[in-house]
C-alpha cells in the first residue's frame, strides 16, 4: 500500500470544521503522516475600494487573523509530535487552489468536507473527484471518526481492483477489528426471455456468474487474515447508487472505498458521473477515492477548465 505521508485538508472556517478537524486527527493517527497542509480559500472579501484606500493592510490583516484562528483550532486538536503543519490561507477558488497545491506539494491524500444541514453551492467535491491527482476523501458533516468496516463496490475492473487492494492493505495494517464488505451489482441482460427461462431462473444464472467472477477476482490478492463478507445484488432499477445506498443503510460501513486510475473513458464509471452521483446520494458515510498519486490525465489542463 502506498503510505500516506502528506495530507492536504480543506478548511472553510464554518461549522464543517468541527467534523473535518477531528477526522484529520483520526487520519493522522492511522496513517504515517509526516506533513499536514491546511488550506483555507477565501472566496470573496467584498471590500469597497474606498475602504481599501483608507486601510491598505485590511486584506493582509484579515488573512492573518483567519490564519491565527485556524492554527489555534488545529493545534488544539492535533498534538502529535513530529508532525509538520503548514497553513495556506489566501483568496481564490477552493477547487483550483487545492488542485494546484496538491500537485505542487505531491500530496498523498486530500480531505474535504460535505455540508448536509445547510445547502451549499460549492462543487468542490465532484470537481476534485474528477480531477484530483491523488487519493481523495469526502467527509460528510457530523460523521464521527471511525474505521471498523469498509464497503468496496466491485465491478472487477482495474479501478475496482485498486480500491479493493487499498482496502485489503488497510484492513491488514489496522488489525483484525477491521473488516471489508464487497458488493457486486449485476444486471439481467435485455432479451433474457428468449432463453425460455423465467426471470427468477435467469437471475440465479447471473448471480452465479457474478459469484464466479468474484472468486476469480479474489485469486489476485493476498487476503489472508482479512475478514471479508461479499454481497451480490440484482440492479432492477438501473441505478447503481441506490443499490449501494441500501447496503450502506443496512450494513453501516464506516468508509466507502472506490477506485480511479485516471480520467479517461475507461474509468468513467468510478470517476465520472458515478462518483458525482455517489457523492450526492451517500450523505452519511465518508467516501475514499483511491487513486495512485499522479495517475490522472493532464492535471494542469483540467485546472484551466475551472
According to DSSP, the β-strands at 255-259 and 227-234 are unpaired
Cell of 30: 492511522
* Residues 225-276: tens digit of each pLDDT: 899 999 999 888 878 888 899 999 999 999 999 987 544 333 333 445 666 7
- The pLDDT score that the predictor gives to residue 46 is 67
Within 10 angstroms of residue 264's Cβ, the number of other Cβ atoms is 12
Q: Answer whether residue 98 is part of any domain.
A: yes
Q: Answer whether residue 257 is part of any domain.
A: no
Q: Answer whether residue 202 is part of any domain.
A: no
Which one is predicted more confidently, 264 or 70? Answer: 70
Cα gap 35→40, rounded to integer Å: 16
Q: How far is CA 98 from the centre of its chain?
A: 14
Q: Answer whether residue 53 is part of any domain.
A: yes
Cell of 176: 483484525
Q: Answer whether residue 103 is part of any domain.
A: yes
Which residue has 488545529 as its cell numbers?
74
Contacts of residue 174, defined as CB under 8 A and 6 or more positions apart, other chains included, come to 30, 147
Question: Is pLDDT of 304 > 50?
Answer: no
Cβ atoms of 221 and 253 within 8 Å: the answer is no
Average pLDDT over residues 174-184: 93
Question: Is pLDDT of 161 > 60?
Answer: yes
Average pLDDT over residues 11-19: 91
Least confident of 37-41, 55-59, 295-299: 295-299
The partner residues of 138 in beta bridges, in order of sequence, read 112, 287
Least confident of 69-78, 110-119, 126-135, 261-270: 261-270
Q: How confident is the model at residue 299 (pLDDT cuts 50, 70, 90)?
A: very low
pTM of the model: 0.85
Cα gap 158→202, rounded to integer Å: 27
Q: Answer whether residue 30 is part of any domain.
A: yes
- The pLDDT score that the predictor gives to residue 210 is 93
Where do runs of H (alpha helix) occur along 219-264? 240-251
Which one is predicted more confidently, 91 or 68? Answer: 68
Question: Is pLDDT of 298 > 80?
Answer: no
Question: Is pLDDT of 202 > 80?
Answer: yes
Cell of 207: 448471480
Least confident of 78-92, 186-200, 254-268: 254-268
Which residue has 444464472 as its cell numbers?
205
Residue-range definition of the domain harbouring residue 4: 1-142
Q: Answer whether residue 162 is part of any domain.
A: no
Question: Is pLDDT of 295 > 60?
Answer: no
- Number of domains into which the chain is organized: 1
Cα gap 64→289, rounded to integer Å: 33
Could you tell me the CA-to-CA distances from 138 to 9, 71, 246, 273, 289 in Å, in that order?
10, 22, 19, 16, 8
Angle at 290 between CA 9 and CA 302, to 5 degrees: 70
- The pLDDT score that the predictor gives to residue 291 is 80
Q: How confident is the model at residue 297 (pLDDT cuts 50, 70, 90)?
A: very low
Percent of the chain at pLDDT exceeding 90: 45
Average pLDDT over residues 106-133: 74
Which one is predicted more confidently, 108 or 120? Answer: 108
Among 232, 241, 131, smallest CA distance to 185 is for 232
- The pLDDT score that the predictor gives to residue 42 is 82
Q: Answer whether residue 18 is part of any domain.
A: yes
Q: Residue 115's domain is classified under what CATH number?
A: 3.40.50.620
Cα gap 205→218, rounded to integer Å: 20
Question: Is pLDDT of 302 > 50?
Answer: no
Query: What's the whole-number average pLDDT of the chain?
Result: 83
Least confident of 58-62, 112-116, 125-129, 242-246: 125-129
Within 10 angstroms of residue 64's Cβ, the number of other Cβ atoms is 12
Which residue has 480520467 as its cell numbers?
263
Amino acid at each position: 500500500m502506498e503510505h500516506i505521508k502528506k495530507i492536504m485538508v480543506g478548511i472553510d472556517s464554518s461549522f464543517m470544521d468541527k467534523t473535518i478537524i477531528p477526522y484529520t486527527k483520526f487520519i493522522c493517527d492511522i496513517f504515517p503522516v509526516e506533513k499536514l497542509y491546511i488550506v483555507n480559500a477565501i472566496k470573496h472579501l467584498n471590500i469597497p475600494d474606498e475602504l481599501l484606500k483608507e486601510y491598505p493592510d485590511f486584506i493582509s490583516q484579515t488573512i492573518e487573523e483567519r490564519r491565527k484562528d485556524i492554527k489555534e483550532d488545529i493545534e488544539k486538536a492535533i498534538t502529535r509530535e513530529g508532525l509538520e503543519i503548514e497553513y495556506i490561507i489566501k483568496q481564490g477558488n477552493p477547487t483550483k487552489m487545492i488542485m494546484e497545491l496538491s500537485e505542487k506539494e505531491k500530496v498523498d491524500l486530500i480531505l474535504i468536507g460535505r455540508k448536509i444541514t445547510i445547502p451549499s453551492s460549492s462543487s468542490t467535491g465532484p470537481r476534485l473527484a474528477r480531477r484530483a491527482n491523488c487519493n481523495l476523501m469526502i467527509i460528510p458533516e457530523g460523521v464521527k471518526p471511525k474505521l471498523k468496516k469498509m464497503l468496496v463496490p466491485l465491478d472487477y475492473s482495474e479501478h475496482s481492483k485498486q480500491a479493493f487492494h487499498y482496502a485489503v492493505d488497510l484492513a491488514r495494517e489496522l488489525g483484525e477489528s477491521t473488516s471489508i464488505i464487497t458488493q457486486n451489482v449485476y444486471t439481467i441482460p435485455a432479451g433474457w426471455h428468449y432463453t425460455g427461462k423465467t426471470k427468477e431462473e435467469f437471475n440465479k444464472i447471473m448471480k452465479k456468474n457474478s459469484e464466479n467472477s468474484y472468486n476469480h477476482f479474489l485469486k489476485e490478492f493476498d487476503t489472508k487474515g482479512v475478514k471479508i463478507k461479499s454481497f451480490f445484488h440484482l440492479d432492477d432499477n438501473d441505478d447503481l447508487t441506490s443499490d449501494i445506498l441500501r447496503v450502506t443503510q443496512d450494513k453501516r460501513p464506516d468508509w466507502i472505498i472506490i477506485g480511479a486510475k485516471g480520467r479517461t473513458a475507461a474509468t468513467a464509471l468510478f470517476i465520472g458521473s458515478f462518483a458525482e452521483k455517489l457523492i450526492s446520494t451517500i450523505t452519511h458515510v465518508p467516501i475514499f477515492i483511491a487513486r495512485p498519486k499522479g495517475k490522472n490525465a493532464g492535471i494542469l489542463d483540467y485546472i484551466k477548465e475551472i
